[in-house]
């Protein structure tokens, strides 16, 4: 990895305001319109384009691309073939790698990781120690936080929340104002939506649906073609 090493041929970027920015490797590119903080680095074959800004001790490397009005700050790293663009922000100790994309007004913060072919878009937030991987998508106003994991081909969207140590995987969908928390898992083709809540050690799997204001908690397991809806409570 080139992340911690600046080559001898690295040069400092000149920012649009005339200030001297951070290091740019010999094969990397930072557009004249982009801002690079004095301690930031752009290495490898990475590109920083448009009005994007990389500040703090943030690093962009590999073949990663940061563009538009995107903002990468603090100790964040964007690497691999990852793309961060639009008005997206990556901050804290967050990592965006692989072929992941973060765009729109999305925000990846804390020690969160977005990698593989995952996408975080719209006004979605991924923070804490959360991970989004595989071909998973988190978008609209959804939030994934804590130690949560969204993986496989799962989608979390609209204003849904996944937090705690929850897992959403497979082809599962969590959307509307639904919440999945604790050590709960939603997998296979399971769907949790409207104002439903899944918590504790509960499992929603198969083609199961949980919706309305229903709650599935404790050690409950909902699977097959089961539907839990209305004001139902399963634990």
pLDDT per position as a tens digit, 50-101: 999 999 999 999 999 999 999 999 999 999 999 999 999 999 999 999 999 9
pTM for this prediction: 0.95
Do residues 187 and 172 make contact, with C-beta atoms less than 8 angstroms apart? Answer: yes
Q: Which residues contact 54 (CB under 8 A, 6 or more apart)?
A: 22, 34, 35, 36, 37, 40, 42, 48, 60, 66, 72, 73
Do residues 157 and 177 make contact, with C-beta atoms less than 8 angstroms apart? Answer: no
Task: Please tell me the distance from the alpha carbon of residue 213 to that of residue 204, in angstroms, as a whole number.
Answer: 15
Distance of CA 195 to the CA centre of its chain: 23
pLDDT per position as a tens digit, 93-144: 999 999 999 999 999 999 999 999 999 999 999 999 999 999 999 999 999 9
Structural domains of the chain ordered from first start: 9-115 (2.160.10.10), 136-235 (2.160.10.10)
Residue 140 has, within 13 A of its CA and on its CB side, a CA count of 12
């Amino acid at each position: 990895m080139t992340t911690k090493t600046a080559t001898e041929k690295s040069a400092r970027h000149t920012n649009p305001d005339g200030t001297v920015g951070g290091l740019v490797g010999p094969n990397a590119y930072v557009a004249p319109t982009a801002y690079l903080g004095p301690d930031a680095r752009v290495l490898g074959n990475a590109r920083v384009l448009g009005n994007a800004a990389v500040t703090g001790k943030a690093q962009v490397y590999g073949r990663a691309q940061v563009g538009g009005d995107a903002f990468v700050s603090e100790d964040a790293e964007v690497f691999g073939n990852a793309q961060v663009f639009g008005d997206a922000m990556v901050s804290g100790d967050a990592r965006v790698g692989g072929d992941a994309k973060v765009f729109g007004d999305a925000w990846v913060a804390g020690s969160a990781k977005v990698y593989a072919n995952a996408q975080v878009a719209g006004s979605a937030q991924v923070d804490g120690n959360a991970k989004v991987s595989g071909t998973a998508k988190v978008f609209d106003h959804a939030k994934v936080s804590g130690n949560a994991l969204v993986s496989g081909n799962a989608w979390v969207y609209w204003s849904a929340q996944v937090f705690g140590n929850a897992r959403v995987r497979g082809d599962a969908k969590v959307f509307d104002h639904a919440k999945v928390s604790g050590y709960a898992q939603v997998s296979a083709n399971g769907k949790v939506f409207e104002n439903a809540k899944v918590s504790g050690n509960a499992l929603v799997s198969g083609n199961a649906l949980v919706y309305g204001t229903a709650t599935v908690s404790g050690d409950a397991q909902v699977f097959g073609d089961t539907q839990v809806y209305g004001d139902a409570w399963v634990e």
